[in-house]
Amino acid sequence: MQELLARIHALDPNASHTLRVIACFDELVRGGVNTQGLLGAAASLSGCVAGYARESPSHTLRVAPSGEMLPDGGCVPPHAVHADGLSVWLEREGGAHANDAMIVERLALALAIRLGRRAPDPLRRLAALLDPNTSTEQRRLVAARLGLASHLKYRVVSLPMFATWTHHPKMVEDVVPTRFGPMHVGVVGQEVEHIQARPCGIGAAMGGGRPPPVVRHRPRQPAPVPPPEHPHRGRR
Amino acid sequence: MPVGDHTPGFLFGVDREPGDRPAFDPELRAGLAIVGGMFPPTITPDLIGFMRVSYAGPPLEALIEGRPIRCEDRVFRGYRGHELVASVFRHEGATGLRPGVLFVHSGGMMFGDRFSGLDRMLDFVDGLGVVLVSIEYRLAPEHPDPFPREDVYAALEWVASDAEKLGIRLDRLLIAGASAGGGLAAGAALAARDRGGPRLCGQLLDYPMLDDRGVTRSTHQFDGIGVWDRVSNVTGWTAVLGEARGGPEVSPYAAPARATELRDLPPAFLDVGSAEIFRDEAVAYADALWNAGGDAELHVWPGGFHGFDIFAPHTALSRGMIATRKAWLSRILAD
């Protein structure tokens, strides 16, 4: 099994690996995946053994990139990250790879939530900004924290995780859970009308704490009847 | 998201999976966030070139590194005598004649090669000492039907006639395939029966692509989501069958769901995810085999997307699928 992120990188060097790692662990936490599954994902992403140890009650678990449990190695490696009473690590031979720190950080957070040592992540800021259930007052507050001005208008940009970028501008961005799975979402000034990525959707300019722009999506197919063909559906 | 015929709706907000299709398994959802870029859900004809790069098999060295396996390439004659390559994998310690598996790779009949998705098949060389023959076959749209299926059938005849040279026991020869390769393997098993060809001891059909008609409920449940959606399937079958797709003239060897006579076939193993378009056709094929008095084992893995064991082999669901498949193969092939 090759390192997953290395394979993705070879195909698309511009892909946003950080956001993919965040989206991956968001989904694991939302899905209530157990510690073996969390460690297995980290091991598969990085291509090396992932492990964690805790005290009271004492427990160590090491998982291979294949997802299989390994015997307890006996000691916590010196480079382990410590948080919430847990030690978390990747058993990388040689120097750390570019995404190792991010993988360990998200793994540690996910383990702490799974083990009840930390409250489940509330909606992160961008998700809260766009959630239709957020009140106007709360939305204004979140917008201010994200550095968005109340007198300006902004557009919401949304892309699937697999979108390819020609040019990736600086913007407020995150992964946001949706009913279609995690989406890569950004907020840009109203003057930005086009994003050099595909597939990509961009909404109408809105501001002033108004509800999030309605983002258009296709209705689902109603019935198992052969529909007319749209060979380029889902892409543009 | 194309322009036109849209209804507005909220995209954002934490909510549930729509109720009209099975949700993806949580570990697999996480995997999709990573691998979606290698295998976009919707494959249109303009993406065939990208997929041929993206879905190319890993280098041979990476496949057999650390395994006690030797590989040698052979040339066989495909449809109309065209020369094609096969890789033959043997356990280093194997002596004498061994059970043989002819493997037909995945890739929608348009991409992939003899090394695509081969990791799991190599486990059988490691663990059971089988001789694994993984073949190239010509791909659509450049080579439409009958090239892919007749190349596969020619490979089956070649393996059987050269069984001794390949170190294979002719009474323990099995055909296996994944996705498009699963459909081609099922088609070759039908053809071998009808043409008085080699007697197979089993057919291993992993999430097979069996039906060009695209009329099942599951085909319409996964549009623009997961791996290999309805549109991808239209792209694949159109590449293979052209205008004949969905019409009355399609051969059951190309689309085995079309077969009406399913007696006297080798024991079949089918596995598929509940959250993929091939779910209904895999279930229907197993059902048809049972109704014809045949031997079939069917496993539907809850929340599995297409080919999930290839894309996310580390997950609990994948490890279950892989172990279950191996248990069946052991019953049929092990010493």
Q: What is the pLDDT of residues A28-82, one digit of tens each?
A: 999 999 999 999 999 999 999 999 999 888 899 999 999 999 998 888 999 999 9
B34 interfaces chain A, CB cutoff of 8 Å: yes
Min Cα separation A122/chain B (Å): 11
On the question of pLDDT at A220 being above 50, the answer is: no
Question: For residues B29 and A9, what is the distance between their CA atoms, to the nearest angstrom?
Answer: 20
Whether B179 and B232 have beta carbons less than 8 Å apart is answered as no
Whether B210 and B250 have beta carbons less than 8 Å apart is answered as no
A83 interfaces chain B, CB cutoff of 8 Å: no
Question: For residues A52 and A62, what is the distance between their CA atoms, to the nearest angstrom?
Answer: 7
**Residue A221 pLDDT:** 33
B116 interfaces chain A, CB cutoff of 8 Å: no
Whether B279 and B272 have beta carbons less than 8 Å apart is answered as yes
Q: Which of residues 135-194 of B touch A (CB under 8 A)?
A: none
A67 interfaces chain B, CB cutoff of 8 Å: yes
Contacts of B313 in chain A (CB under 8 A): 1, 44, 66-67
**Residue A74 pLDDT:** 81
Min Cα separation A197/chain B (Å): 13
Q: Do the chains contact at B225 and A232, CB–CB below 8 Å?
A: no
Contacts of A68 in chain B (CB under 8 A): 319
A181 interfaces chain B, CB cutoff of 8 Å: yes
Q: Do the chains contact at B33 and A201, CB–CB below 8 Å?
A: no
pLDDT tens-place string over residues A88-134: 999 999 898 888 999 999 999 999 999 999 887 667 889 889 888 88
pLDDT tens-place string over residues B48-96: 998 999 889 999 999 999 999 999 999 999 999 999 999 999 999 999 9
Which tokens belong to A108?
């540690």
Residues lower than pLDDT 50 in chain B: 1-9, 13-17
Question: For residues B190 and B285, what is the distance between their CA atoms, to the nearest angstrom?
Answer: 13
**Residue A12 pLDDT:** 66
Whether A151 and A207 have beta carbons less than 8 Å apart is answered as yes
Name which residue leads in pLDDT, B269 or A182. B269
**Residue B11 pLDDT:** 55
CA-nearest residue of chain A to B227? A162
Residue of A3, A5, A187, A230 to mutate for B, most B C-beta atoms under 10 A: A230
Measured between CB atoms, which of B11, B53, B230 is closest to A217? B11
% of chain A residues with pLDDT over 70:
82
B243 interfaces chain A, CB cutoff of 8 Å: no
Residue labelled with tokens 């040592």:
A117
% of chain A residues with pLDDT over 90:
49
Name which residue leads in pLDDT, B217 or A19. B217
How many helices (H) and strands (E) in chain B?
12, 9
> What is the reported pTM?
0.87
Q: Do the chains contact at A181 and B26, CB–CB below 8 Å?
A: no
